[in-house]
Structure 1
Amino acid sequence: MPDRVTIAPQRLGGVVETIPFADRLSLIPDLFGQLDTAIAQAGFFYVGPQTALYRVTGDQMEVRVGVALDRALPGFEMFEAPGSDALLHTHRGGFDQLPQIYQTLDAAVTEQGLQRGTWAREVYRQVARDATLNVIDIYMDVL
């Protein structure tokens, strides 16, 4: 059962794009590539965790991927990750299991008599070549 949590607002810098929802699986990795390029060009050897926010409107998906920055830097678009109440599931394992986790979160929203909020978000705490080492916090905003 997912935990209900409150997420504090956060200012992030990264990449913001609106993409066709149907093409999300092929396009989202490119957005993370753009973020990685900006991180490298800014001279960071570590910055994290990376956060992704997803909002679907019709057949379009707004994707915001970024990292916490203390100021605007070239190559980074600054944006808000708004605060909210959310259901949280911490996942350990591969990215291929994420669709099932979102289904579980959707079911929990209904079971708890809640409504979905605006954003789904993923916070990548640990990502490794060996996917069994991945740790991803997956949040679904709720009202």
Structure 2
Amino acid sequence: MADLVTLPPETLGGVIDTVPFARRFQFIPDVFGRMDSALGQSGIFFAGPQTALYRVDGDDMEIRIGVALPKPLPGFQMFEVAEATALHMRHCGPFDTLPGVYKALTAEVENRGLIRTGWAREVYRFVAKDSSLNICDVYMDVAQA
């Protein structure tokens, strides 16, 4: 069962890109790689948690990956994330099983009579070499129908 939560507005710095939706799984690792590179080039050894935002627009998917930064830094695009009402589920385990979370959230949207309103968000709380230890909070922006 998903929780209905209110997410506060925030300013993040990171990487923004648009990729073909049908081939998103081929391109998403590169976007994360660019984020890791920007962190390394800025001398940041810890910035967490990382937040990834995904929004589908026609045949494309906009991806924004960011972290809270104390100020704008070279190599990072600053962006605002608006306050939102969202359905939330915590996912524990390998990231390749995340599609099941999205299916469950989509079903919950329908069951509650809600509509999706924009972003899907993944907040990476714990990422490990043993992927069974991964913890990711998944949010789907919603509103009353």
The 1-side partners of 2:58 and 2:45 are apart by 38
Q: Deviations over 1:110-137 (max 9, x none)?
A: 0001111110000000000101110000
Identify the residue that residue 7 of structure 2 maps to in structure 1: 7
Q: Give how far 1:97 is off.
A: 0.9
Structure 1 unaligned residues grouped into runs of 5+: none
TM-score, normalised to structure 2, is 0.97
Q: Secondary structure at the match of 1:4?
A: strand
The 1-side partners of 2:47 and 2:94 are apart by 22
Q: Deviations over 1:18-60 (max 9, x none)?
A: 1100110010111110000110111111111000000001110
Structure 2 unaligned residues grouped into runs of 5+: none
Identify the residue that residue 88 of structure 1 maps to in structure 2: 88
Q: Following superposition, which runs of at least 4 residues in structure 1 exceed 2 angstroms of deviation?
A: none
1:36 and 2:41 correspond: no
TM-score, normalised to structure 1, is 0.98
Equivalent position amino acid for 1:21 in 2: F
Identify the residue that residue 124 of structure 1 maps to in structure 2: 124
Q: Secondary structure at the match of 1:38?
A: helix
Q: Give how far 1:71 is off.
A: 1.0
The 2-side partners of 1:81 and 1:25 are apart by 23
Q: Deviations over 1:81-133 (max 9, x none)?
A: 22100000001000111111101000000000111111000000000010111
Identify the residue that residue 26 of structure 1 maps to in structure 2: 26
Identify the residue that residue 46 of structure 2 maps to in structure 1: 46
1:74 and 2:74 correspond: yes
Answer yes or no: is the 8 Å Cα contact 1:53–1:81 preserved in 2: no
The 1-side partners of 2:47 and 2:85 are apart by 26
**Identity within the alignment, %:** 57
Equivalent position amino acid for 2:134 in 1: N
Identify the residue that residue 111 of structure 1 maps to in structure 2: 111
The 2-side partners of 1:56 and 1:26 are apart by 16
